[in-house]
């Protein structure tokens, strides 16, 4: 069913109406694999169909959606909530007052101190919102209003010159880190086995921390002298990675002997619930610092960059890097070509 762009002679009510419908659309399309309360989520979806009386009540509900397990909804909701207040202060009386120029002003004023990644998320949210309205609005006479928002000329991003190369461990540092994993004094044997297992899994396969903490026991499949691990990446996209059995055999055996995780998860805390990404990152940082390894970013995601960098240096196969990391665009994988010393050394022979 389609609706008029403006109604009730109230910009605030109209914007809130479209925002409710848009976030409902995103919730139903985002991955629900980690949802902890499906009944409540279904109820919220129906509440969004009915609509909310205020942006404050919608904000509370969006926080609840995140807590239930749709974590990425804030990427779409937060920029649009800020746009609501921006247009309210602007004194808007109609949705038709929003155009490309106003959105560029909004981005310039609201994202000046934010990272390029967050700025891109704001742009994605705006494009998604107004693209949704373009498809869903229709007047009684059958005509529809088209925003056609593109934001191609918005200059808020630093561009490639403003991006940083990711931190990673070189070959000698990796060897030092692997030894540190084995020697680190964990609280007890069980915690040690679990922590060594998850850190090695991330380091030797390059999977994301978020992917590692949601692995199920059935996703670890023995195949000869290796384990095939089924993971779900961004957008709930499936892929498989491999790790040699000898690397994790002892830790895996020790952990499985006492593992009692909810929902058949492979990794969990002492209460049986899912580990957090922040816990794994703090753990990796503690181990790195214990042997004097300091990087600009010492968190667990740095292990993924390390895997990808060494994989490209040893294979010179960008497609392999792309498939191993689960990148949808090969250009995302090209960052790791910057660390290829064998190629860079050729430049020293030019003169």
Active site residues: 208, 234, 301, 304, 327, 336
* CB atoms inside a 10 Å sphere around CB 131: 15
Separation between Cα atoms, residue 7 and residue 15, nearest integer Å: 10
Give yes or no for a contact between 74 and 62, defined as CB atoms under 8 angstroms apart: yes
Give yes or no for a contact between 44 and 150, defined as CB atoms under 8 angstroms apart: no
Q: How far is CA 113 from CA 85, 156, 258, in A?
A: 18, 10, 47
Q: Nearest Cα to 146, choosing from 138, 156, 158, 155?
A: 138
Compute the radius of gyration of the chain from its Cα atoms: 24
Q: How far is CA 101 from CA 5, 11, 104, 154, in A?
A: 19, 19, 5, 9
Give yes or no for a contact between 125 and 75, defined as CB atoms under 8 angstroms apart: yes
Which DSSP string corresponds to 191-219?
A: HHHHHHHHHHHHHHH---HHHHTT-BGGG
| Beta strand extents in 5-70 (DSSP E only) | none
Separation between Cα atoms, residue 332 and residue 322, nearest integer Å: 8
Separation between Cα atoms, residue 18 and residue 234, nearest integer Å: 26
């Amino acid at each position: 069913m389609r609706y008029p762009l403006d109604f009730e002679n109230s910009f605030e009510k109209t914007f809130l109406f479209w925002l409710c419908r848009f976030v409902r659309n995103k919730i139903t399309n985002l991955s629900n694999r980690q949802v902890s309360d499906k009944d409540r989520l279904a109820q919220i979806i129906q509440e969004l169909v009915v609509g909310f009386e205020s942006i404050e009540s919608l904000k509370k509900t969006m926080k609840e959606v995140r807590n239930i397990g749709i974590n990425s909804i804030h990427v779409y909701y937060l920029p649009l909530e800020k746009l609501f207040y921006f247009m309210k202060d602007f004194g808007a009386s109609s949705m038709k007052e929003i155009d490309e120029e106003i959105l560029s002003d909004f981005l310039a004023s609201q994202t000046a101190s934010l990272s390029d990644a967050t700025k891109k998320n704001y742009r994605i949210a705006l494009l998604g919102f107004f693209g949704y309205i373009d498809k869903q609005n229709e007047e009684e006479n059958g005509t529809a209003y088209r925003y056609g928002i593109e934001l191609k000329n918005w200059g808020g991003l630093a561009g490639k010159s403003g991006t940083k190369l990711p931190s990673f461990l070189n070959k000698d540092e990796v060897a030092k880190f692997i030894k540190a994993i084995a020697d680190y004094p964990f609280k007890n044997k069980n915690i040690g086995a679990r922590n060594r297992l998850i850190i090695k899994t991330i380091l030797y396969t390059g999977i994301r921390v978020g992917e590692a903490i949601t692995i199920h026991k059935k996703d670890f499949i023995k195949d000869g002298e290796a384990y095939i691990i089924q993971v779900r990446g961004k957008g709930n996209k499936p892929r498989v990675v491999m790790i040699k059995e000898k690397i994790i055999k002892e830790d895996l055996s020790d952990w499985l002997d006492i593992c009692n995780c909810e929902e058949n998860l492979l990794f969990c805390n002492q209460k049986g619930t899912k580990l957090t990404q922040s816990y794994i990152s703090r753990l990796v940082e503690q181990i790195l610092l214990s042997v004097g390894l300091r990087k600009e970013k010492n968190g667990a995601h740095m292990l993924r960059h390390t895997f990808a960098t060494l994989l490209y240096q040893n294979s010179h196969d960008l497609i392999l890097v792309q498939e191993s990391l689960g990148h949808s665009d090969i250009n995302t994988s090209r960052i790791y070509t910057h660390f290829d010393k064998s190629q860079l050394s050729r430049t020293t022979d030019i003169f």
